[in-house]
Chain A
Amino acid sequence: MGYHLRKLAFYLTALWAAVTLNFVIPRLLPGNPVDILMAKLQQRGGSVDPAARQAYETLLGTGGRESFVQEYLAYLGNLLRGELGVSVSAFPAKVTDVIAGSLPWTVVLVGLATLLSFLLGVGLGAVVGWKRGTWLDSLVPATTMLSAVPYFWLALILVAVLASGLGWFPLNGGYDVVLDPGWSPEFLASALYHGTLPALTIVLSSVGGWLLGMRNMMVSAMSEDYVLTARAKGLRGSRVMMRYAARNAVLPSVAGFAISLGFVVSGSIVTEQVFSYPGIGSKLLQAVQNNDYALMQGIFLVITVAVLGANLVVDLLYGLVDARTRDRSTVS
């Protein structure tokens, strides 16, 4: 049980750190975000009543009227109630509604693309490692090269060639705007069609890392005694590869999958910008461009919570695939 409790404690600590960071950043950095926000709100025809101002001040700082501790407690209270304030760029929508509308797009696109990239990379890596010394070796530098290319640059060139040039894919967007969002087959098909190219670019640029890591671990695992034993046992090659070599070699990749999620989310922001995809990343950029601090901070929190949650799940799954971690109570 120690393993699960320690993991949970760690993620609670990380969550607290993120929440506090979110509180501290606007107070430490120069400028007066509350005034900017109120001015924006006025332009949009929003009410300038003291209640609205107070809500923003709780989030961004009162400029010294209240003590740091009081502000912090009020801020935590708001978070616990799920109060993230009102967005000025999407006025009068609440920040929570804006997030709820855009989060699923990101989760589905980025989640599926990442999973696909992971499975593809790990699978190819296992084969490349196993068949070391054949032409498959050349996959390693090739895919690593793709990872060294700036992602958006590759994506834009693919858009220019495959979408503008050949017309195989739509240029941008998450779905055909003439359709109403919903669960209709036409809409789903359109979403799938629009998501293919962005997903493809994500897979292309991230598969190399997984492939290289898995291939290197596979090569190490193949020189382990248990693989030698498996060969001496007269097991079929495929079984030695899957149950003995790959089963052990994949462990660092599984552990790395959790850590990579943070990078994946970062990548998705750029993806959504390239494809004008209606996800949470493009909303974050919109918020930054419009000084919509409330939305900005809300999105940062949601992204962090999502990443931490996914990390926790992966870590718990890791405990299932490697029995040793559950018993190793002292090492973190």
Chain B
Amino acid sequence: MTRSPKLVTGLALAGVIVLFGLLGPLLTGDPATIRDSGLTPPGGEHLLGTTLTGQDVLAQLAHATRGSLWLGLLVGVLATVLSGVFGIVGAYAGGAVDEVFSLFSNVVLVIPGLPLVIVVAGFVPADQRGTSTIALVLAITGWAAAARVLRAQTLSLRNRDYVAAARVSGEKTWRVIGVEILPNLLPVIASQFVFAVVLAILSEAGLSFLGLGAADSSTLGTMLYYAQNGFALQREAWWWFVPPGLVIAVFGGALSLINFSIDEIVNPALRDRVRRDGDVVASDPAPPEPDAVLTVRNLNVVYRGDTPVHAVKDVSLTLRRGEILGLAGESGCGKTTLAYAVNRLHRPPAEVTSGSVMFGDVDVLALEAEELRRFRWVKLSMVFQGAMNSLNPVTTVRAQLKDVLTTHRPEMSSAQREERCAEVLRLVGVDPARLGAYPHELSGGMRQRVMIAMALLLEPRVMIMDEPTTALDVLVQREILDEIKRLRDELGFAVLFITHDLPLLLELSDRIAVMRDGEVVEHATAEDLYLRPHHPYTRELLASFPSLTGEAGALTR
């Protein structure tokens, strides 16, 4: 794993401050010594100058840093333990325990913390307000947000199959939590701990500024309090007021950097990627074949990176008017990358390095951004695998159908648009009354029908379907396949149908291309491919699907 520069910088800065807090007090002498050299500017004997009463600011800063770090650590540990108990244990136990624990966390979370702390501090006499009291109060008011995060994480981990597998193998509950779940929560717990430490140091500083801080110790907050009450800023003694705040800021910033990198470990999508100038590095336009709606010639797509991946190698395909061309291949063979590249939907670091994509006589790879946008969906529409995820979860079916029309058919009136949306829904066998529905209100098959209706809206000549039925049940898959065949016969569009399910393609397609490791290894009519497969890989794939009705042959055990 390559170390992120953020993590290194964060750890280095935080390390310097922790070292300063640990070792500083040993080197800087007594912070309380009063001298008659009040408010000396930095330099000479006093590196950071002196306070109003002549105390050495550097010595004070070292002790205060140590005090603040100690308090932050104390609160961080306490709050993390509390949030772990209420978040992790509650979520794992489930049922009534979870209900009560999460209700409690949520109530604690919505009751404003600082006013509560102030009220408590108001009742506790100042001489009884020690560091431990302050730490306890800050931990009690500060753990709930982390508990919520941990609960959500635990809930999702708890339903993982490896937790079920551990239970089936007979592991005890505490071991399931401690050995199977906890290690996977570590990044989240670490980030919550870091956050709790920063929040505690900031809150303590705020409390001290309000005069409600710990009476028995010196922290960066109390140092600021004395500086403020000594009118440091008004006397232009910035060296007294600025350093404590700066130490907090640098420490907080360092911990935020650490948290950034933890976030990036948890969520790889956040990791920085180098941006490329364009999605097409080079292309060599080739003349389109007669009678072809889509001609792909010697297309190459490469994922740039430390080890570049050549995902699509010299692929040539021809899609003729009104035909269904099947593209078969297993996961990682490059079939989806190819489908995206045809419509130039691939994102960095993927780039087209050579070849051509001709739509009729339009050179797709040469289109300008705005031309490309106008080309999409009008000439070529797409249906993706997970219809659940392909539809926007927060808007209605109507809104998602209509925005195609408002974008590409601005001349249509609102009533015409509504009528067209209803029409395409009827075409795929969905009641137009469902226009007002949200995606989550539809079944999986219904959502895929809506996607197909959407793809039909502008009557494109080509539709690319990427595993459109894979997530569906056999019966629903059959309905959708029959629907696709019927619509193709009625409307005459051509389909590039991508799937790993070779029997399905053999039944549905006119011609089939078999892809492996980025290359098309065989390209033939469905009948030839089925009866006279040439390439060994095609034969291997065919043999992978036992026949439902035929002889078992050598297949069976």
Contacts and interface: CB of A to CB of B under 8 A. Distances in A.
B392 A30 contact: no
A322 B267 contact: no
B376 A225 contact: no
A323 B440 contact: yes
Given A233-B403, A307-B112, A31 B125 contact: yes
A216 B107 contact: no
A48 interface: no
Interface in A121-155: 132-134, 137, 140-141, 144-145, 147-154
Interface string A192-231: 0000000000000000000000001001100111101111
A94 B402 CA distance: 59
A225 B384 contact: yes
Chain B interface residue bracket vs A: 35 or more
Contact of A266 (B115, B252, B404, B454): B115
Given A234-B375, A303-B112, A288 B118 contact: yes
A300 B116 contact: yes
A296 B209 contact: no
A171 B374 CA distance: 57
Nearest to B451: A229
B170 to A, nearest CB: 30
Nearest to B245: A153
Nearest to A18: B111
B115 A265 contact: yes
A150 B248 contact: yes
B377 interface: yes
Contact of A231 (B251, B253, B345): B345
Contacts of A265: 112, 114-115
A21 B394 contact: no
Contacts of A137: 272
Interface string B363-399: 0000000000111111001101010011111110001
B68 to A, nearest CB: 11
Interface in A258-306: 258-259, 261-263, 265-267, 269-270, 273, 284-285, 287-289, 291, 293, 296-297, 299-300, 303-304
A225 B343 CA distance: 15
Contacts of A307: 110-112
B394 A247 contact: yes
A35 interface: no
A17 interface: yes
Q: Is the interface of A mostly helix, strand, loop or mixed?
A: helix
A304 to B, nearest CB: 6
Contact of A234 (B273, B374, B438): B374
A226 B391 contact: yes
Contact of A269 (B210, B211, B252, B374): B210
Given A30-B124, A225-B390, A148 B256 contact: yes
B248 A300 contact: no
B443 to A, nearest CB: 14
A220 B268 CA distance: 9
B394 A262 contact: no
B389 A225 contact: yes
A248 B393 contact: yes
A232 B343 contact: yes
B403 A243 contact: yes
Interface stretch (B21-29, B198-206, B530-538): B198-206
Contacts of B128: 30
B384 A229 contact: yes
Nearest to B212: A288
Nearest to A290: B122
B299 interface: no
Interface stretch (A70-78, A83-91, A156-164): A156-164
Nearest to B123: A29
Contacts of A232: 343, 345, 376-377, 381-382
Most buried by A among B123, B145, B245, B403: B123
Nearest to B119: A300
Interface string A228-258: 1111111110010001100110010000001
Contacts of B102: 332
Contact of B272 (A14, A25, A133, A303): A133
A29 B123 CA distance: 7
A234 B118 contact: no
B121 interface: yes
B435 interface: no
A172 interface: no
Nearest to A151: B206
Contacts of B122: 287-288, 291, 293, 296
Given A160-B233, A234-B407, A304 B391 contact: no
Interface string B408-444: 1000000000000000000000000000001011000
A1 B254 CA distance: 46
Interface string B255-292: 11100100100010110111100000000000000000
A261 B111 CA distance: 10
Nearest to A281: B115
A13 interface: yes
Given A152-B209, A248-B392, A13 B123 contact: no
Contacts of A248: 392-394
Interface string B212-255: 10000000010010001000011000000110110011011101
A262 B345 contact: no
Given A259-B110, A269-B114, A327-B440, A297 B119 contact: yes
Contacts of A65: none
Contacts of A174: none
B282 to A, nearest CB: 22
Nearest to A227: B392
Contacts of B125: 30-31
Given A17-B111, A29-B120, 11 more contacts: A30-B123, A149-B252, A150-B209, A150-B248, A152-B205, A154-B245, A225-B386, A226-B393, A229-B382, A234-B404, A269-B114
18 contacts: A17-B107, A31-B125, A133-B275, A145-B249, A149-B245, A150-B224, A216-B263, A226-B392, A228-B345, A233-B376, A247-B392, A248-B392, A270-B209, A285-B210, A297-B119, A307-B110, A323-B440, A327-B440
User: Nearest 8 A-B pairs (CB), nearest first?
Assistant: A148-B252, A266-B114, A234-B376, A153-B245, A133-B275, A225-B389, A288-B122, A262-B112
